[in-house]
């Protein structure tokens, strides 16, 4: 058992400058902004005229993290686009909006709450750009006040408010908008199901089309987005090429037979409801006649893009996939989905150590990114979802991960004298309760990478170790979630791979192209898969995986 240095990457050389560069589109009027900083926003806001509440101003986005100076000459201007002012543009900066005092601004969003007091009325407007609402104050002189009186302004309604930025008396915010003009864009029926009273996450799952309008689901969506952005950023900065692996496939990468079939033998859409069961064409032996199917053989939704990823790694060296994957396992747990997104890097000229170094560096990078870039949302999770999550994640970024072999892990579990539901012995698959004990209790919340699993509980493509019993596999376990990452060094020796395929009674014929990679210039290579929704769970503290993806797909559940 050894501690791995947190940031050691055997193959990955950190680049000195960020290679990702976001071209900023400065409007001519804004050229005076220093080019090394993102312009916080244009201070010369156009006053709105009565005739045009959609009056927008030119706005430029700059996400340059390199400190490089961007020339904004006409030739490298990619295109300007118009942008509405968002609440985050007003309140997101260090002054929390104080530098906008005295300006007349326009905000569009949805009403969260309405508080009518004797002299004034408070309307909280949220546009999803950040957790904070824009607190708007309206009195009876303002244009459009009649909409408050007539009850048009209710929770859920969409509005456009124009007003003066003034200091706020309340403690929760530094500024508020004193409304000069209020326009209802879309009224909200009184049946709007997400009212102020606390609603459970189970209830919100049944309202998945409206739940992004809550604080929790808005914050999850933004952090999920930041994790996806950081994922691409990490791999792009380290020279990986993003590869689109197919969603429909005829191979079963993991060999677990948990695939959804894709077929046109069953009539599609409307007809399917009234289709007799014996309409499926059969062979003389009474089997399904797949030759009449769309792909002329059984085809499935992919469980993993790995095998396709390997083909590109053995040409481009370092690649990654990031796309949806599907598993028809009947697991009604808080960690399983039938449709989830997976990130699968594949590294050529690499072994298991390189793989673990990459996984460690990747996880630390994306966690650091959300801690630095999603402060308001992370504070919200820290206060309301999982107390202490910020400290826990900061530790992940700063501390080394534990590494141990499967054999040592089994010994540790046996020594723990803990009563597990699934008894432990060498050769058994580690269950969630075992994984969580190791990372949560034995190592006090530190991620643990377990290596060298018995070959019989792992997939056919993993490289056989010299002991003949174990394979060069690695799983990364994290608190609350258990297995976050599963990976391995791949079997690059043709004869070993063919033997393994035979032992497992898999079809060499259908894997002919995969075997070709070992025939033509084979190299040691390794990779891993990370379940993106489990990463969102890990980074937000959200208990149930069904709350980390906009529209969860699970057994018996495909609404929306
Ligand atoms: O461990 P798995 O099955 O590994 C593979 O699919 C390999 N082909 C990956 C590779 O080496 N390229 O899945 C990888 C990860 C798991 O560690 C877990 O985080 C996630 O995918 N995962 C699921 N996430 C949500 N719902 C499910 N049903 C999942 N099954 C796996
Ligand atoms: Mg696994």
- 366 and 421 share a domain? yes
The Cα–Cα gap between 317 and 349 comes to: 7
Residue range 361-387, pLDDT digits in tens: 999 999 999 999 999 999 999 999 999
Q: Phi first, then psi: give them for residue 139, nearest 5 degrees.
A: -120, 175
What is the 3 state secondary structure string of 132-167?
CCEEEEECCCCECCHHHHCCCCCCCCEEEEEEEEEE
- 506 and 397 share a domain? yes
How far does the centroid of ligand 1 lie from the alpha carbon of residue 477, in Å?
Answer: 12
- 472 and 367 share a domain? yes
* 367 located within any domain: yes
* 201 located within any domain: no
* 193 located within any domain: no
Residue 156 pLDDT exceeds 70: yes
Mean pLDDT of the chain: 87
Q: Label the pairing between strands 339-348 and 318-326.
A: antiparallel
Residue 7 pLDDT exceeds 60: no
How far does the centroid of ligand 1 lie from the alpha carbon of residue 341, in Å?
Answer: 9
* Number of neighbouring beta carbons within 10 Å of residue 525: 25
- 58 and 171 share a domain? no
How far does the centroid of ligand 1 lie from the alpha carbon of residue 7, in Å?
Answer: 24
For residues 247 and 308, is the Cβ–Cβ distance under 8 A? Answer: no
* 209 located within any domain: no
Please list every protein residue whose CB sits less than 6 Å from any atom of ligand 1: 253-254, 304, 306, 327, 329, 336-337, 340, 342, 344, 483-488, 527-531, 533-534
Ligand at minimal distance from the CA of 307 is 1
The Cα–Cα gap between 487 and 473 comes to: 6
The closest-lying atom of ligand 1 relative to the alpha carbon of residue 306 is 12
- 455 and 406 share a domain? yes
How far does the centroid of ligand 2 lie from the alpha carbon of residue 196, in Å?
Answer: 41
Q: Bridge partners of 347?
A: 318, 526
* 205 located within any domain: no
The Cα–Cα gap between 219 and 197 comes to: 19
Q: How many domains does the chain have?
A: 4
How far does the centroid of ligand 2 lie from the alpha carbon of residue 311, in Å?
Answer: 21
Residue 426 pLDDT exceeds 70: yes
Direct distance between the N- and C-terminal alpha carbons of the chain, in angstroms, rounded to an integer: 47
Q: Which of 475, 529, 534, 554 to mutate to test the pocket of ligand 1 (most atoms within 8 A of CB)?
A: 529
- 401 and 521 share a domain? yes
Residue range 45-99, pLDDT digits in tens: 333 333 333 333 333 333 333 334 444 445 566 777 877 899 999 999 999 999 9
* 208 located within any domain: no
- 292 and 304 share a domain? no
State the pLDDT at residue 69: 40
How far does the centroid of ligand 1 lie from the alpha carbon of residue 222, in Å?
Answer: 23
State the pLDDT at residue 11: 55
Listed residue (476, 483, 431) closest to 450, CA to CA: 476
- 127 and 276 share a domain? no
Listed residue (144, 141, 219) closest to 377, CA to CA: 219
The closest-lying atom of ligand 1 relative to the alpha carbon of residue 345 is 12
Last residue of a domain, one of 275, 297, 319: 297
* Residue % of the chain over a pLDDT of 90: 79
- 430 and 540 share a domain? yes
The Cα–Cα gap between 258 and 528 comes to: 19
State the pLDDT at residue 14: 40
The closest-lying atom of ligand 1 relative to the alpha carbon of residue 327 is 28
* 197 located within any domain: no
**CATH number of the domain enclosing 107:** 2.40.50.140
**CATH number of the domain enclosing 240:** 3.30.930.10
State the pLDDT at residue 369: 98
Residue 254 pLDDT exceeds 70: yes
Half-sphere exposure at residue 253, Cβ-oriented, CA atoms within 13 angstroms? 23
Range of the domain at 39: 1-82
Residue range 498-557, pLDDT digits in tens: 999 999 999 999 999 999 999 999 999 999 999 999 999 999 999 999 999 999 999 999
* 196 located within any domain: no
- 542 and 405 share a domain? yes
Residue closest by Cα to atom 27 of ligand 1: 336
Q: Which of 306, 534, 544 to mutate to test the pocket of ligand 1 (most atoms within 8 A of CB)?
A: 534
State the pLDDT at residue 9: 43
* Residue 416 burial by Cβ neighbours in a 10 Å radius (0-12, 13-18, 19+): middle
Both tokens of 2, joined, read: 């050894």
State the pLDDT at residue 75: 55
Last residue of a domain, one of 55, 82, 109: 82
Q: 140 vs 267, which has greater pLDDT?
A: 140
- 257 and 269 share a domain? no
- 377 and 505 share a domain? yes
Last residue of a domain, one of 64, 82, 100: 82
Residue range 208-243, pLDDT digits in tens: 999 999 999 999 999 999 999 999 999 999 999 999
CA dihedral 515, 516, 518, 519 (to 10 degrees): 130
Q: 252 vs 29, which has greater pLDDT?
A: 252
Once rounded to an integer, what is the mean pLDDT over residues 305-319? Answer: 98
């Amino acid at each position: 058992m050894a501690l791995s240095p947190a940031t050691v990457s055997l193959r990955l050389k950190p680049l000195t400058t960020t290679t990702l560069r976001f071209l900023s589109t400065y409007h001519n009027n804004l050229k005076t902004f220093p080019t090394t900083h993102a312009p916080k926003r244009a201070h010369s806001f156009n006053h709105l005229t009565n005739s045009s509440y959609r009056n927008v101003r030119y706005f430029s986005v700059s996400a340059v993290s390199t400190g490089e100076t961007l020339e904004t000459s006409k030739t490298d201007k990619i295109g300007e686009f118009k942008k509405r002012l968002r609440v985050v543009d007003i309140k997101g900066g260090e002054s929390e909006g104080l530098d906008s005092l005295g300006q007349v601004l326009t905000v569009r969003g949805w009403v969260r709450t309405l508080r009518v007091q004797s002299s004034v009325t408070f309307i909280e407007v949220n546009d999803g750009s950040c957790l904070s609402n824009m607190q708007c104050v309206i009195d009876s002189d303002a244009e459009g006040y009649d909409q408050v009186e007539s009850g048009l302004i209710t929770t859920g309604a969409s509005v456009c408010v124009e007003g003066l930025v003034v200091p706020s008396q309340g403690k929760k915010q530094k500024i508020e908008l004193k409304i000069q003009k209020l326009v209802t864009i879309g009224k909200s029926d009184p049946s709007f199901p997400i009212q102020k009273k606390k609603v459970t996450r189970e209830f919100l799952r049944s309202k998945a089309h409206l739940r992004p309008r809550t604080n929790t689901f808005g914050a999850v969506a933004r952090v999920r987005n930041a994790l996806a952005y950081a994922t691409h950023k990490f791999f792009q900065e380290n020279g990986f090429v993003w590869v689109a692996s197919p969603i429909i496939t005829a191979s079963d990468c993991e060999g677990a037979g948990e695939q959804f079939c894709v077929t046109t033998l069953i009539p599609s859409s409307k007809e399917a409801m009234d289709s007799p069961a014996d309409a499926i064409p059969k062979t003389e032996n009474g089997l399904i006649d797949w030759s009449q199917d769309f792909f002329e053989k059984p085809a499935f939704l992919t469980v993993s893009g790995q095998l396709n990823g390997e083909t590109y790694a053995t040409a481009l060296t370092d690649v990654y996939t990031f796309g949806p994957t599907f598993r028809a396992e009947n697991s009604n747990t808080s960690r399983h989905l039938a449709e989830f997104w997976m990130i699968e890097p594949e590294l050529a000229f690499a072994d298991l150590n390189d793989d673990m170094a990459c996984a460690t560096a990747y996880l630390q990078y994306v966690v650091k990114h959300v801690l630095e870039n999603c402060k308001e949302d992370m504070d919200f999770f820290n206060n309301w979802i999982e107390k202490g999550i910020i400290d826990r994640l900061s530790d992940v970024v700063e501390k080394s991960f534990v590494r141990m072999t499967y054999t040592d892990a089994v010994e540790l579990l046996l020594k723990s004298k803990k009563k597990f539901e699934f008894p432990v012995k060498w050769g058994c698959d580690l269950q969630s309760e075992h994984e969580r004990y190791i990372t949560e209790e034995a190592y006090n919340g530190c991620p643990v990478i377990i290596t060298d699993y018995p070959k019989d509980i792992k997939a056919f493509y993993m490289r056989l170790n010299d002991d003949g019993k174990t394979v060069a596999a690695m799983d990364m376990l994290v608190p609350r979630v258990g297995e976050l990452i599963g990976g391995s060094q791949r079997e690059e020796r043709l004869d070993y791979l063919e033997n393994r395929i035979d032992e497992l009674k898999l079809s060499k014929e259908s894997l002919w192209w995969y075997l070709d990679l070992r025939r033509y210039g084979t190299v040691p290579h390794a990779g891993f898969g990370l379940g993106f929704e489990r990463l969102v769970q890990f980074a937000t503290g959200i208990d149930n995986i069904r709350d980390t993806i906009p529209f969860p797909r699970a057994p018996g559940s495909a609404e929306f």
